[in-house]
Structure 1
Amino acid sequence: MDFTSLPDFLARDRAALARGPVAVILIEDRAEVASTLDHHVRAGFREVLALTPADIDLPEDLRTRVKLIGFDTLADGALMRALNPLIEAAPPTTWFYWGYNAEYLFHPFCETRNVRELIAFHIEERRDAMLATVVDLYAPDLLRHPDAVNREEAMLDAKGYYAAARSDGAGGVRERQLDLFGGLRRRFEELVPKTRRRIDRISLFRAQKGLTLRSDNTFSIEEVNTYSCPWHHNLTAAVASFRTAKALKRNPSTSAAIPSFAWTNSVQFDWSSQQLMDLGLMEPGQWF
């Protein structure tokens, strides 16, 4: 372990937060830890912070490219307790990504343009955050892969997604904010708590004074939660994620009700940004 705790990291290596963009990965179990960290290193993040409850085995070349930080990622409110101190400690020029192991950030044309180029363009459009759709991945055969994780044969839903205007709690709607639904959380919604059914996530954002993540995974500054600026559509991203499938199969009360995740509208994921754009799960905006 490089750092025993998050306070230890902030005391000894806070300067790393100025070398953004920074990817913050919460390790909840041992599923695809190495592939997740490697994906985000290759995506172009200058710092990759792996918050993990125990030391993890990584290839030696990967160990030199990420920082392992001791953290109880399974505790209540773990994401807020991890992200908010990092936001507070970072300079306002730092961009963050956050996600979990077995989740992979994709953005338009990511095969040829890295995340630093993505952010540079987004800044030119006067944007401080980017909306992402969390796209559920799952193994097609749960007998061979009972944890629902299989990168080589990963499937996703090609249909069944929708957006609803986000309520402001006072009878109106929040400007340029959407609640997104679809994937496994929609198909198996009776097994998913209502507060966890959304698949929208502000996965990329710039640190700024007073910004905090709230318990519903939205931010305290409302403009950060918007999907575009007022004058035209902006870039959006996608997070390809096995996390929901893992959770549904790990929990005995839900696992027995799901013999398979595959259905008529399942398609194999080809791990390309073009497929995600073709399915309407992210868009390039003006970034041609």
Structure 2
Amino acid sequence: MTNTAKPLPEGSDVTVCEVGPRDGFQNEKTFIPTRRKIEIVNAMFAAGLRHIQVTSFVSPRAVPQLSDAAEVIAGIDRPDDATLSVLIPNLKGAEHAAEAGVDAVHTVVSASETHNRKNVNRSIEQSLKDFEAVADLMHRNGITLEGGMATAFGCPFEGVVPPEQVGRIARRYRELGAKRVSLGDTTGMATPKTVKAAIQAIRSEAPEVEICLHFHNTRGVGLACVMTGLAEGVSYFDASVGGLGGCPFAAGATGNICTEDLAYLLEESGYRTGLDLGALIEVARMTQDTVGRDLPGQVLKAGPRLRRFDPELTATAAG
């Protein structure tokens, strides 16, 4: 397998897709009021985010926190250049998404056969076959199809997921007309080495498909994996406000990489995100107050690199 990718040059635009309103809020035990969800999403837009995964059209029995999906979408002040996406598990969810007027839908199949059977009780091939009707509906309604892959970098049941498997699924998504393929680090098993191998496999099998990387920080290497993605030419990354989230159906999963931390890393590395870091920190504080506990984001705690302090208010060492 030959890698023809070039590192993303400094000065390039990088897209940060905010997934906290879906991937983060779905885990909360106490229902977040619809009005508060809308306020947080609107604040995200005000901070410069233009790609937001706002909710999911799933069974309210499975994920009661997102039972207000249509109401949230209807209440958002959507900028003209914004893309609202939602996760959908099946054709019924896709129909609801189309009715709600979203810009994109995100489907998910596991790259691991065992995980897919545990997650949706069917084979990978059956899941992809089911998405044919979803893809047809989306294309007829002018809605972008995004193909998600869970356990793309490793499976808690099978262990190693061959990169060739990731490449094959990406090719199937391309055949369905997906604009981009998102590689999900469901239980935080990604490493720079596995990320590079998965990207190269997709470039071999479906070179025209845009790649999105969705990392969790379960083992503390989420941002290191981002740097690998940049080195492989990837310019689209998911992140969650304050580091909120993690899959509720995957043992050992913790939060996603943090939006503010990612924005800080990208800007300080010379990339353009169009994001206001100070405003993102305020969104994280708003979210932290909403969920009622400290969030793991580091920039939320420390602030920007050049944050200044008054020396007159700082104790002077004795001696």
Structure ranking higher on relative contact order (CA contacts 8 Å, 6+ apart): 1
TM-score computed with the length of structure 2 as normaliser = 0.28
Larger Rg: 2
TM-score computed with the length of structure 1 as normaliser = 0.30
